[in-house]
Structure 1
Amino acid sequence: MDIVKHNREAWNAQVDKGNSWTQPVSPEEVARARQGMYQIVLTPTKPIPTDWLGEVAGKEVLCLASGGGQQGPILAALGADVTVFDNSPRQLEQDLLVAERDKLTLILEQGDMRDLSRFKDESFDLIVHPVSNCFIPEIGSVWTECYRILRQGGALLAGVCNPLLFLFDVQEWDNGKLEVKYSIPYSDPEQLPQEQLAAKLAAGEPMEFGHSLESQIGGQIAAGFVIAGFYEDKAGGDLLDPYISTYMATRAVKLR
């Protein structure tokens, strides 16, 4: 299976379905950001701490796998020079919609988050990477590429899934039951029963992958980053919310 192609088409369809990660910010949110008042999320509900971003005006920012008209426009309204990079053309169209509506300047790039070869070494001051690496089977290259294209002293702000989210039987989950079935690392194409995989493909849903904490946090450290910030977040209404946070965010710094 060509995962990149399949998930590109799946996320194009998610725009039509109104997935929450595809809904652009409002003109009012952009106007507030121009006044310095804003909220940006890497995970479902909890905003990034303001000291994680700092002063972004005049800085070169990459919004990685971050189409949908959300993070990029707010950062542009704050005065940053923003490039939005995403696998889905329809997601990038959401950013274009906001840019044209609110007279913002955004550079839009379509591609696989694992391949940032079009960008030169040390091209960006900041990378904003909301939860998205659960849609690719291998993430080590994401961290090494981010490290390469960040300037010294720059930061990578990344949202990721807690891998325990992928332990449970999907059908039982839909019935409101938590039943452990799968191992981590997890892969839809490799671990879903054939009939469930076929149904997911037929429905045009994205293929998902549950990466270990070692590959998600340890992978950033192995790439050269120093983890300088961390928080957890809940999904905002799923079965595990009463018991544990299923998302997390890191601030990783490329030291001088």
Structure 2
Amino acid sequence: MNESYTKSNAAFVDRWVHDGWEWGQPISHEAFENAKAGKWSVQLTPMKMVPKSWFGNLKGKKVLGLASGGGQQMPIFTAAGAECTVLDYSSAQLQSERMVAQREHYVIQVIRADMSHPLPLPDDSFDLIFHPVSNCYIENILPLWKECFRVLKKGGILLAGFDNGINYVFNEEETDFACKLPFNPLKDKALYQTSVENDWGIQFSHTIEEEIGGQLQAGFTLTDIYEDINSEGRLHDFHVPTFYATKTVK
């Protein structure tokens, strides 16, 4: 079970994309043209847009979209003048990247890889990593933060979105407590089976110590942060913060 869960998650995402998943819908030609004119915004978390000040001037910058496939952010960064690489484990998400690149006549490096393993990228390669909510699909995230630090240039920026674990406590209706934290299907066979049957994928809760503390432990300096809420549901209605986005620098 432990050896194949990331492959299972890639298959889950492939199916979600084919079923019309919100985070698997590539941007339109009009959105690409708007981005070329400087009119763009992107998300690391469900609701809030990332401040433009977090990016600086993207022209000529080397950007890694880490688990950021789907043809949503990388086309925008390319339109803004960046040289982009996207790494994802979902074939469907990467196919969307290829489709948009072909449609808009630009070049992007597309890499299918499992981010729970060392990244197949050289040291000191990127000016910026864009990593939207996705590390909930791997069990151990400290090695990932260390890999991000390794592949960034000195002064490089990591922009990351992640949940704080609260969503995993509740049932699907968000009306009652259902699970204890930490949420880890690899250590609970019944939870694993429930996750598969409910089409959740194999997800994991992570603590702030793992998320922000892990970035600091990897060597990053935290320079900005904001919190966000779910896009729908009772927790959304009550404005319960369930996500964070961080800007850290090597």
Compute the TM-score of the two structures, normalised by the length of structure 2: 0.94
Q: Is 1:222 matched with 2:217?
A: yes
Which of 179, 184, 188 is 1:187 aligned to?
A: 184
The equivalent of 2:242 in structure 1 is 246
Contact kept, 8 Å, 1:114 with 1:145, in 2: the verdict is no
What residue is the counterpart of 2:95 in the other structure?
93
- The alignment status of 1:120 with 2:122, answered yes or no, reads yes
Aligned match for 1:59, one of 58, 61, 65 = 61
Residue 6 (structure 2) aligns with: 4
> Do the aligned residues in 1 keep the contact of 2:185 with 2:195 (CA within 8 Å)?
no
Distance 1:142 1:238 in 2: 30
Q: Which amino acid is 1:220 matched to?
A: Q
1:150 lines up with 2:152 in the alignment = yes
Residues 181 and 205, structure 2, Cα contact 8 Å, conserved in 1: no
Comparing 159-168 and 209-218, the one that deviates more: 159-168
Q: Is the 8 Å Cα contact of residues 115 and 145 (structure 1) preserved in structure 2?
A: no
- In the alignment, is the contact (CA less than 8 A) between 2:41 and 2:50 conserved in 1? yes
Cα pair distance change 1:118/1:88, threshold 3 Å? same
* Identical counterparts, % of pairs: 38
Distance in 2 of aligned mates of 1:181 and 1:208: 13
Q: State the SS of the aligned residue for 1:209.
A: coil
Show CA shifts across 1:125-184 (max 9, x none).
00000000000011001100000110011100000001122222x3xx33x512253123
Structure 1 counterpart of 2:90, which letter?
S
How far apart, in 2, do the equivalents of 1:157 and 1:13 lie? 27
> What's the CA shift for 1:204?
4.9
Structure 2 spans left out of the alignment, 5+ residues = none
Q: How does 1:98-117 map to 2 (within 5 A)?
A: 98-117=100-119
Q: Is the CA contact (8 Å cut-off) linking 2:229 and 2:239 kept in structure 1?
A: no
Matches within 5 A, 1:203-214: 204-214=199-209
Output one character per residue of 1:67-122: Cα deviation in whole Å (capped at 9) or x when no partner.
11111111111110000000111110011111111112211000111334421110
Q: Which runs of 5+ in 1 are unaligned?
A: none
Q: Is the contact between residue 24 and residue 98 of structure 1 (CA under 8 Å) also seen in structure 2?
A: yes
RMSD over aligned CA atoms reads: 1.5
TM-score where L is the length of structure 1: 0.92
- Give, in angstroms, the shift of residue 36 of structure 1: 1.1
Is residue 2:124 matched to residue 1:129? no
Q: Is the 8 A contact 2:124 2:153 kept in 1?
A: yes
Retained in 2: the 8 A contact 1:133–1:160?
yes
Q: Distance in 1 between matches of 2:118 and 2:105?
A: 27
| Residues 30, 77 of structure 1: 8 Å contact kept | yes
Match of 2:176 in 1: 178
CA offset at residue 197 of structure 1?
3.6
Task: Tell me which residue corresponds to 1:16.
Answer: 18
The alpha-carbon deviation at position 32 of structure 1 amounts to 0.6
Q: 1:203 to 1:165 in 2, by over 3 A?
A: closer
Q: Alpha-carbon deviations, 1:49-77, whole Å to 9, x = none?
A: 00001101111100000011111111111
